[in-house]
Amino acid sequence: MPTGVHLRDVRKQLFDAADRVLRRDGPNALTSRAVTTEADVAKGVLHRHFTDFDAFLAELVRNRIAGLADQAALLHAAAGTRTVAENLVAALTELFDPISLALVSLLFSRDELRNRLRRTGEGLPLLVEAREMLTNYLAAEREQGRIAADADVNSLALSLIGAGHLLFAGRRRGTPPEDNELRKVVHTVIADVVQRRLL
Question: What are 60-71's pLDDT values in tens digits?
Answer: 999 999 999 999
Across 56-164, the runs of DSSP E, i.e. the strands, are none
Backbone angles phi, psi at 44, to 5 degrees: -80, -10
Region of residue 84 (phi > 0: left; psi between -120 and 50: alpha; otherwise: beta): alpha
pLDDT at residue 144, rounded to an integer: 95
> Which has the closest alpha carbon to 134: 107, 112, 155?
155
Question: 118-165, pLDDT tens digit by residue?
Answer: 765 567 889 999 999 999 999 999 999 999 999 999 999 999 999 999
- Asked whether residue 174 carries a pLDDT value surpassing 90, the answer given is no
Across the chain, the runs of DSSP E, i.e. the strands, are none
- Asked whether residue 27 carries a pLDDT value surpassing 80, the answer given is yes
User: Taking the model in full, what pTM does it have?
Assistant: 0.88
Q: How many percent of the chain have pLDDT more than 90?
A: 76
User: Residue 180 carries which side chain, given as an amino acid letter?
Assistant: N
Average pLDDT over residues 45-70: 93
Distance CA 12, CA 9 (A): 5
pLDDT band at 168, cuts 50/70/90? very high
Are the CB atoms for 126 and 100 separated by under 8 Å? Answer: yes
User: Residue 143 carries which side chain, given as an amino acid letter?
Assistant: E
pLDDT band at 7, cuts 50/70/90? very low
Domains recognised in the chain with CATH numbers: 1-49 (1.10.10.60), 58-196 (1.10.357)
Are the CB atoms for 105 and 27 separated by under 8 Å? Answer: yes
- Asked whether residue 115 carries a pLDDT value surpassing 90, the answer given is no
